[in-house]
Amino acid sequence: MSQSRAVMAVSGPDSRAGSGLQKKNDDMTTYTHSPDLQLSDLALQHIPEAVVLINDRNDIVFYNDAAQRLWGLPRDEVMGQNVRCLVPPAYRADHDGFIARHLEAGSHHNVGTTRDVEFVNAGGEVRRGRLSLSQVVRPGLPGIFYMGVMTDVTQERNAESILQLRNDLLRSLTTEKLPLDQSGQFLCQRIENTVSDCCAVLLHPGGRDGRMDVTATTTLPRRMRNALATCVPDAAAVASMKDDPAVAVDLAWTRHAVLARSFGFDMCVAAPVTTHDGTPAGILALYLRDSSVKDWALAVMKAATPFCTLALGRDAARQRISELSERDTLTGLLNRSSLNRYIETMTSDRQDAVFTVMVLNIDSFRDINNALGHIHADNFLREVAKRLQKLSAGRYIISRSSGDEFIVVVPNCPRALAMDQATRIIRAIAEPIEVDDSAITLSVSIGIACFPDDGPDGESLLGHADVALQQAKNEGRGTYKFADSSKNRLAQDRLLLGSALHETVSKGLLHLYYQPQIDTMTGALYGVEALARWHHPHLGNIFPSRFIAVAEETGQIAAIGRWSLQEACRQMAQWDREGIHVPTVAVNLSAAHFGDHSVPDYIAGLLRTYDLTPDRLTVEITENVMMESGKATHDVLQAIRNIGVGLSMDDFGTGYSSLSRLTRLPLTEIKIDRSFINDFEHDTNAQAVTTAVIGIGNRLGMTVVTEGVETVQQRQLLEDLKCDVMQGYLFARPLPADELEKWIRTREAAGA
């Protein structure tokens, strides 16, 4: 309360002189028996404003009914008393000093003024009043009188303060986007500015062992903060406060009352902070040094708690987004990108680190999914995750890397101990699972690689463990195999494939196929994605997943990317000459291209050569680019975007993508991976993630493309979710250029 401390009295000459009790009584008798004054005093007696009349010695000579109601003091207790009896005790010294200065200066500057003041009623409650002072000369009476007229404006001022508090908190929480510790401190600071001599504390879950995090300003003594941080609130007690905030005793007061009183606090009022569905989420407590402001503190607390809910809810949403970027949504385990960071950290200390990487795959899981349905299959995956966590007892680092594949990293586990760990995992997973009164037994195959023997980094360790996993599946399943470079047939295959690929790339024998992308709203052709294809005269058709990986390992990926860009632009120009309208073409580039600062100039040169506007080309980047987006990579991406070429995040949501880095890249488009669309009609988890990604894309102003659309029902669901663009076999498979031309002409003839 920052109201004026002004007092009501304005003194006449020498009120300090000892006039004596008899003199006062004589003056009172003279005043009260004056027949000329009785009529006017009768009128003042019954007006709604409190009226107090004092003589030039500051003695009260008139005190109406409204004044009795305002101060709560009966007339016979104040008549003839010095007006300082109506001044709050804390302000009386200031009042006396003011009187002394007034007498010395002979100033009447308060006369004829109106101001807001604080006063204390007989119940000890601090109130606010609007005081008007005037000088009165009464004919026939000696001396000068001063009249104070007071109106209680407590409710009006309180309403203004509450409104200002709400406006400040709303503006801060909706515009400044501060983290919880800062927004909570601002909230506590504004409460303390509104309730005099109090300390506001926001307690909310987040500490260890169910204890509370404490958010407060620097006015909260450190010992109090430490004591409150040890509080473990009882949920039932919090819930009981919902309709009746605790007064005098909050959830920590009984334990810490002595400590609180040592800092001058003699009361605490507290109220629960709940989520929007009424679930307790924290406590707002106000520690008061002056219990007379209790009612005002409760009113302020009632106004502030919805904003505590908003702050905690926004923080929970921020944490949830962070969790989604780090965790697998089905099992709650780490996703692949998070696991990679853990392994990178572990391999950085090569002197002491010894650990084992195990890649687990559930045997025949596709058969389980087909036989029992995706709901039971998802439950199996959750159960596997739970058993791994139970077996781990906090020692393992566990990730779900793909559909039915898990990765377990066992720290401080050399090869000699890995066999026992793998055996324990196989036995734990093999315990029967009850399904519809039947017991289903799962088995897992495990590939094992040990650091540092089987690789210097996470990529090589996981690669060797993958090879060992395939050997375990090929040799019986339900078992484990260690990585063995001498038996690594995959390495031999890659060596052969790499040599053949080098010849193919140098002779320009790759081909581009084009898969149409459809505008969801209009059904028109939105564009095409260019996909590299390789047919070897002796090895046959080589899947892109094989030769792209080999190209990256052998350093040929840069040449393939440049060739793809050049061929796609050439084909677009040819279609333009032939009157075939293809709005845009998307070309995939790998992470290697974005470390090359010449790539933006190369792209700009192609656009000039083939007379294409930049908006007709989109460059697709992978999650590896997202993960490795340092300054050099970002500069290349920004340079490409500055040309006007679009940038698309491919395979978004597979677990590698980092939501925290999404806004740092100059993207224009995100593509939802086809893995979310498999069984999309029935998989509520996939629908939830897809809905979230579409929402993120829309809010960031990006076009959202969904891959893998194969059924009419999937198309309808995506239309309902307002996905921008769809791509998949429902519309067309990837087609050679000549077949795409036929496909376009057929659609045009049909009026599509």
CB atoms within 10 A of CB 513: 18
Quick one: average pLDDT of 630-653? 89
Chosen CATH of 21-152 out of 3.30.450.20, 3.30.200.20, 2.30.30.30, 3.40.50.1110: 3.30.450.20
pLDDT band at 607 (very low <50, low <70, confident <90, very high): very high
**What was the pLDDT predicted at 337?**
85
Q: Which of 724, 701, 569, 694 is nearest to 643 (CA)?
A: 569
Closest among 277, 276, 224 to 252, alpha carbons compared: 224
What percentage of the chain reaches a pLDDT higher than 70? Answer: 81
Q: Output phi, psi for 689, to 5 deg.
A: -65, -45
Find, among 522, 523, 513, 511, the residue nearest to 730 by Cα. Answer: 523
pLDDT tops 80 at residue 141: no
pLDDT of res. 251 = 39
Indicate the pairing of strand 126-136 with strand 703-706: unpaired
Domain covering 336-484 assigned CATH 3.30.70.270 in the classification: yes
Helix (H, G, I), strand (E, B) or coil at 365: helix
- Tell me if domain 158-322 and domain 494-749 are identical in fold: no
In tens, the pLDDT along 350-406 reads 556 789 999 999 988 888 888 888 888 898 999 999 999 999 888 889 999 888 999
Confidence category of residue 704, pLDDT binned at 50, 70, 90: very high
Mean pLDDT, residues 162-177: 77
* Per-residue pLDDT reduced to its tens digit, 724-742: 999 999 999 999 999 999 9
- Answer yes or no: is pLDDT of 24 > 60: no
Per the structure block, which two tokens stand in for 617? 């080309």
- In this prediction, residue 8 has a pLDDT band, given cuts at 50, 70 and 90, of very low
Fold observed for domain 494-749: TIM Barrel (3.20.20)
Which segments of 225-297 are extended strands (E)?
Answer: 246-247, 267-274, 280-288
CB 619 within 8 A of CB 639: no
Order the strands of the 145-152 sheet from edge to edge.
Answer: 60-63, 50-54, 145-152, 126-136, 114-120
CATH superfamily of 158-322: GAF domain (3.30.450.40)
Of the pLDDT bands very low, low, confident and very high (cuts 50, 70, 90), residue 250 is very low
Residue 34 has pLDDT above 60, yes or no: no
Q: What is the mean pLDDT of the chain?
A: 81
For residue 634, name the pLDDT band (cuts at 50, 70, 90): confident
Distance of CA 71 to the CA centre of its chain: 50
Residues 566-571, mean pLDDT to the nearest whole number: 96
Please give the share of the chain, as a percent, with pLDDT higher than 90. 28
Look at residue 38 in the predicted model and tell me its pLDDT: 56
Specify the range with the lowest mean pLDDT, choosing from 103-107, 142-146, 175-179, 467-471. Answer: 103-107
DSSP 61-74: EEE-HHHHHHH---
Domain boundaries, the chain: 21-152, 158-322, 336-484, 494-749
pLDDT at 206 over 70: no
Among left, alpha and beta (phi > 0; psi -120 to 50; other), residue 436 is left
* 414-442: average pLDDT: 86
Find the mean pLDDT for residues 327-350: 84
Range with the largest mean pLDDT of 216-230, 441-455, 718-732 = 718-732
Residue 520 has pLDDT above 60, yes or no: yes
Structure confidence by residue, pLDDT tens digits, 257-299: 778 888 888 888 888 887 777 777 788 888 888 877 788 888 8
For residue 641, pLDDT beyond 60:
yes
Section 478-484 average pLDDT: 88
Look at residue 471 in the predicted model and tell me its pLDDT: 86
C-alpha distance from residue 354 to each of 347, 350, 412, 434, 456 (Å): 9, 8, 5, 38, 11
Per-residue pLDDT at 505: 84
> Is residue 706's pLDDT more than 90?
yes
User: What distance in Å separates the CA atoms of residue 350 and residue 519, rounded to the nearest whole number?
Assistant: 51
> How confident is residue 687, by pLDDT bands cut at 50, 70 and 90?
confident
Q: Which amino acid is at 192?
A: E
